[in-house]
Amino acid sequence: MEGLEELLECSMKCMAQAAVALADSLDQLAQNVRSKAVALYARYASYDLRKYNMLLRSAIEALGSSLNEPVEGCVKAAGQSTVDLLNEALRILSSGSPDLAKLIEVGRALAERAMVHTLAYAKAFAMLSPGHEHLAIALEAAAKSLQGHVEALNKLKPMIVS
pLDDT in tens, the chain (162 residues): 567 788 888 999 999 999 999 999 999 999 998 889 889 999 999 999 999 999 999 999 988 888 777 677 787 778 888 889 999 999 999 997 889 999 999 999 999 999 999 999 999 988 876 788 899 999 999 999 999 999 999 998 888 776
State the CATH architecture for 2-161. Answer: Up-down Bundle (1.20)
* Domain regions of the chain by residue span: 2-161
16-108-126 Cα angle (round to 5): 45
DSSP class per residue in 86-122: HHHHHHHHHSSS--HHHHHHHHHHHHHHHHHHHHHHH
